[in-house]
Amino acid sequence: MWNEIKSNIFSALVYFREFILFLVLVVVIIFLLIEKLSLSLPLILLLLIVGIIILNLIGRRRIKEIDEIKNIISLIRQSKYQSSDEIVLTKHLSALENEIKEMFEKAKSDIEYLERLQRMRSQFLGNVSHELRTPIFSIQGYLETLLNGAIDDSKVNKHFLQKANQNTVNLSNLLNDLIDISMIESGEMRMSYRYFDINIFIQSIISEFVPMAEEKNIKLIFNPVKEGLQVFGDKDKLRQVFVNLLQNAIKYTDEGRIEILLDEEKKFVNISLKDTGIGIPEEDLNRVFERFYRVDKARSRAVGGTGLGLAIVKHIIEAHNSKIIVQSKQGEGSTFSFKLKK
């Protein structure tokens, strides 16, 4: 008991200065009221004892409050709370209770965010391994077959080598896209915005794609609007957007045409790439911008797709404070569009 009183008083010593001030004040008043020393001395003694009792009570209460707070913190540390509503302190500590609740909510959402990130990272790693395995296994298979004798079979040897080669191309596409996406997602993508002539820009990209489109008998159409029309953006990154969208349009179109349309608005230029290809089923429309999402995996791989092209497009367009929109009808074609600032 004596030890308890000692620790109570020790805990109340934070108020020691106020306590001494109060004592001095009361002693002075006693001296002024009772001039006789013999009478005032017992009173002062009594006052001292009362003071110590009060200090003991204050200290006890303080220890109780600190224990209550310590207990709450320890329960938070042990993840015993599901929601901040379960955190309750005595009434006069309600301001502190609110602070602890806010801290709890913040920590909870930070942890959830980190867990989500961790899940996404593992999923991404799983996808990457899977994507790498497919072409590597194919190359291995073709090379082993050739080494086991097929190399001398003039009917298949060239074909197997071509297949192995196509898989190395797929592998290299995948690695390039992976480098791009990891640069973008780690925030290392440096943007360099300036004004440039959109008509000249699109024409130069189209001229590179004409042979690829002609090979499949697809018409590439672009009618420039308003000579000298300038848009604001990162030319190199936008080049990648057009390349990815045009490559897709050609990959997923068997016949017909691909059209690039410009529509000048007050503050923006709306750009659309329209194809007459296989189209995208309605239930997949929202998902084609996800990393590694493909409507038809086999078809995508057969045409050298990585499943990352549209994810890269989305990131770049969003870095331009814009949004990529897709409209499509299965069997009729797809239109990808976005706006750029004038």
In sequence order, the 6+-apart residues with CB closer than 8 A to the CB of 251 are: 300, 303, 304, 305
Cα–Cα distance, 20 to 262 (Å, whole number): 83
Task: Please give the structure tokens belonging to residue 205.
Answer: 């990209």
Question: Measured at the alpha carbon of residue 320, what is the angle toward residues 339 and 212, in degrees to the nearest 5?
Answer: 65
Task: Give the span between the Cα atoms of 246 and 273, in whole angstroms.
Answer: 8
Q: How far is the CB of 295 from ligand ADP (least distance, A)?
A: 3
* Residue closer to ligand ADP, measured from CB, 11 or 248: 248
Query: Is the CB of 59 or the CB of 305 nearer to ligand ADP?
Result: 305
Residue 233 bridge partners (DSSP): 194
Residue 203 CA to residue 224 CA, distance in Å, equals: 8
Backbone φ and ψ of 130, nearest 5° = -60, -45
Q: Could you say whether residue 280 binds ligand ADP (CB under 6 A)?
A: yes
CA atoms within 13 A on the CB side of 21: 4
To ligand ADP, the closest distance from the beta carbon of 248 in angstroms equals 3
State which of positions 217-246 bind ligand ADP (CB under 6 A). Answer: 244
Name, in order, each residue with C-beta under 8 angstroms of 216's C-beta and a sequence gap of 6 or more: 250, 253, 254, 255
Residue placing its CB nearer to ligand ADP in the complex, 93 or 183: 183
Question: Measured from the CB of residue 275, what is the shortest distance to ligand ADP in angstroms?
Answer: 5
170 binds ligand ADP (CB under 6 A): no
Minimum CB distance to ligand ADP smaller for 59 or for 307: 307
Among 12, 131, 307, 317, binds ligand ADP (CB under 6 A): 307
CB 203 within 8 A of CB 196: no
- Near ligand ADP by CB under 6 A, which window of 107-115, 180-188, 232-240, 277-285? 277-285
Point out which residues pair with 268 in neighbouring strands: 341
Give the nearer residue to ligand ADP in terms of CB position, either 145 or 166.
Answer: 166
Q: Kindly report the CA angle at 112 between 306 and 85, in degrees rounded to 5?
A: 155
* Residues listed for the chain: 342
Size of the site for ligand ADP (CB under 6 A): 23
User: Which of 288, 317, 324, 340 touches ligand ADP by CB under 6 A?
Assistant: 288
**Binding-site member from 199, 276, 300, 337 for ligand ADP (CB under 6 A):** 300
Q: Which of 60, 61, 294, 342 binds ligand ADP (CB under 6 A)?
A: 294
Tokens found for residue 220: 């590439």
Residue 295 interacts with ligand ADP (CB under 6 A): yes or no: yes
| Contact between residue 241 and residue 316 where contact means Cβ atoms under 8 Å apart | yes
CB 335 within 8 A of CB 327: yes
Q: Contact letters (x/-) for ligand ADP, 2-41, by CB under 6 A?
A: ----------------------------------------
Q: Which residues bind ligand ADP (CB under 6 A)?
A: 244, 248-249, 252, 275, 277-280, 288, 293-296, 300, 305-311, 334
